[in-house]
Amino acid sequence: MVLNSIEIKHYLFVENLEILIYILIPLVALIFFFGLYRHFRIWFYGYGFFRALKERSLKERIASLVKYGILQRKVIKSWIGSVIHVPIYLGTIILLVGTILRFLEYDVSYKLFGLRFLTESTYLLYKLALNIGGILLIAGCIIAWIRRAYKKDEIPTVFGDHLVLSCLFLIGVTGFLLSGISTLNYRLEWVDGFDFIGYAIASYIQNTGLEETFFNAYPYIWLFHMLLALFTLATIPYTKLFHLVAGGLFNTFFARPEPLSALKRVEDLEKRLETGTYIGAEKVGDLSWKERLDYDSCVSCARCHNNCPANLSGKPLSPMYMILEMRKAMNEGVEAKVMTEKNTPEVFWSCTTCGACVERCPLLLHHVENIIDVRRWMMSVNQAVPEELLQLSSNIRRAMNPYGFDPYSKTEFVQKLAEENGLEIAEEGKEYDVIYWIGCTTALDPTLRPIAYAVTKLLKLAGVKAALLPEEGCCGDPVRRIGDELLFNEIILQTGESLRRYNFKTLLVGCPHGYNTFKYEYPQFGYNFHVEHYTEFFARLIKEGRLKLKPQERVRMTYHDPCYLARWNPIRKEPRFILQNCGAELIEMDRNSERTFCCGGGGGGAFYDVKIGERISKVRINEAKKTGVKIVAVSCPFCNMMLKSEAQTVDMEVKDIAVILSEATEQQS
C-alpha cells in the first residue's frame, strides 16, 4: 500500500475508530473546563476576573506572557531548568502544534474544501519537527526522573508527579512506534532522513520479519496512544501539568506590575479600622487573587528553596514548602486558615524579604507578598509577634526611629553634621540640588556615622547644593516589612508632607531600604520624588569629572551587594565602578549581583532573629572570607551593621563605599 505522493495517510488501519475521536473530544473538553472553573472560582473569589484584567494594559500583559510564558526567559536562567524543563516544554509544544496541524489539514481543510497542505517538502519538514519534538519530550522525562531520584530529599515528589511523567513518556514512545509502523507501510522509500526515528523502527521491524505482527497491533497501539493523550489533556487541571496553565499562561499573563520591590497598598485600610476588621490574611479568602493564583502556579522546582538565605541557614522557612502548604489550605476552601501546623509563625518571621525567591522563580510567584500579608494579620491582632518586633514598632511610633532613642539626639547630629561640612539645614522657599536623607541607622549608630560624614564631604567637594532635614524621621520600611501597615501609613503621611515643604531636585538616600521605600512605595500615596542611592549619584559625578580621583594603590577587596540595591533594584554596576576608581581590585564572592546572598538584616532581621539554625550574617561573612581578601565593601547601613559583628571573628574589615570614596579624595583635597 504505497502512496504515489508524499503526504499523510490519515487513520491508517483505524478508519472504523475515527468516530471515537469526535465522541471523546467534547468529554475531554468538559472535564478540562470544569477543572479550570474550580480553580477560577478560588482565584477570583471576592474580586472578579475582569477587575483583575484591568489592573494592567493588555499590551503589557501580552508582552509578559510572551517573555516569560512562551520564551521562558526566567526558566533558562538556570542550567538545570534549561536541561530538564526546556526539552519537555519544547517537545510538548512541538507535538501539540503537530497534532493541531494534522487536525486542521484533515478535519477542516480536506473534509471541507478537499485541500491538503501537509504534502511533499512541507510534510517532510513536518515529520522532522515531530521527530525532534518526540526526542526532546522523552529525553526531558528521563532527565526529570534521574533528577528526582538524585534530589529526592530536595524536590517533593508524589505519585501524581510520576504519573504525569509516565504519561508524557509513553505518549512519546507510542507516537514513535506508530510512526515506525506507518513508515514501514507506505513511506519507507522517501522518508529516510526526515522521519529518522520512524525509519529506524521500520527498518528494525522489517529486518526481524515481524511486519504482520506490528500491522495487526497498530490499532491497539493507536487506541492506547489516543486515549492516553486525551486522558493527559483532560486531567491537566487536576495534576501537576496544571502549572502549564496556571503558571505558564495565567500567571505570566497576570504578572504583578513592576516594581516587584513595592509591596501592594492595603486599599481599604480606613474601612477596616472603622469596622474593627483585621488587616492582612488570616484565611485563604483574605489573600489577594494573585496570591491564590501563585499557589496553583508553583511547580516545586526548588529554585526558591535552594536560594533562600533563611532556608540555607537552617531557619524554618522554605518558600517552596510555604507555598505548597498555602496551596493545600486553598484547596480546602476560602475559609481555611493560612497558618497551619507546618506554616508556623516562625516560618513567616524567618523571612528577611531579600527577594531571592522572587528573583529566581520562573513562574513569577511573589512569595514575599504572601509572607507580608500574614505578618500584617499577626501584627493587626497581636498574635505570635516577637516581643522585639513589637518594641521596634513602639519605638518608631514614639520616637520615629527603630531604636527608641531621643529624637533630639538625631536632630543634634544633623545640626553638627551640617556645620562641620558646610551644608545647609533645609529651609522652605529655598532651592536645593539635593536633600540628603541620612537614615535612622546611620544617624544613630556611632560606628556608622562616618558614612554620613563621608557623604556630606563628597557633596561639598563636588559643589552640590545640598541640605539636610532638621526633622528627619523614619522612612517607614522597617514597620512595613514586619507587617505594621497602619503605622506605615501614618509615617508616610508625616514624612511625605514634611518633604513636600522643600524645593529640591533629588532625594539622596544612603540606605537601600529607604531608597526602595521612597522611590516605589511613597508614590502609592501620592508622594513622588526623584530618588537616588548615593552609589548612583557619586558614580555619575565621577563620570562627569566633578569628583576627580588620583590613581590609587591597588587594594584587594570584595563587594557585598545589598538585596534592596542589587536584586530588588538593578543597581550593580555603579558600586563596582566607584570601587574600581578608588583602586579596588574586586574579588567577587560566588553569590553576587542579583544572585547576592542576604546579610540577614532586612524584613526586621536587624532587630529580631529566629533563634534557629545559623545566623545569616555568619554564612555571608564566611563566604566573603573564602575570597581571601581582608576588606568587605558595603553600601547599606544594615549590611554594614550585620556583617561588622561577624567580621571581627574572621579578621576582616567592613567598609562603606562612601567612606572608601571619601578617603580616596583626601589626597587631592
pLDDT tens figures, 351-403: 999 999 999 999 999 999 999 999 999 999 999 999 999 999 999 999 999 99
pLDDT at 272: 87
What pLDDT is attached to residue 669? Answer: 44
Residue 153 pLDDT: 65
pLDDT digits 0-9 by tens, 59-106 = 999 999 999 999 999 988 877 767 888 899 999 999 999 999 999 999
- C-alpha distance across the termini of the chain, in Å: 93
pLDDT of residue 3: 42
Contact 479, 396 (CB under 8 A): yes
Residue ranges in 512-602 assigned as alpha helix (H) = 512-516, 534-544, 573-581
Amino acid sitting at position 261: S
pLDDT of residue 433: 97
**Rounded to whole angstroms, how far apart are CA atoms 288 and 463?**
48
Q: Which three cell numbers stand for residue 533?
A: 542611592
Q: In CATH, what number does 401-543 get?
A: 3.40.50
Query: Cα separation of 91 and 498, whole Å?
Result: 58
Query: Residue 186 belongs to what H/E stretch?
Result: none
Q: What is residue 152's predicted lDDT score, i.e. its pLDDT?
A: 65
- Provide the pLDDT for residue 2: 43
Would you list the domain boundaries of the chain? 17-252, 268-385, 401-543, 546-664
- The three-state secondary structure class of 12 is coil
Give me the pLDDT at residue 290, please.
94
* Domain 401-543 identical in fold to domain 546-664: yes
CATH architecture, domain 17-252: Up-down Bundle (1.20)
Measured CA to CA, the distance from residue 160 to residue 162 in angstroms comes to: 5
Structurally, what CATH architecture does the domain formed by 546-664 represent? 3-Layer(aba) Sandwich (3.40)
Q: How far apart are CA 69 and CA 249, in angstroms?
A: 6
Class of domain 268-385 (CATH, top level)? mainly alpha
pTM: 0.91
Per-residue pLDDT, 148? 80
| Ranges under pLDDT 50 in the chain | 1-4, 667-669
* Residue 490 grid cell: 501614618
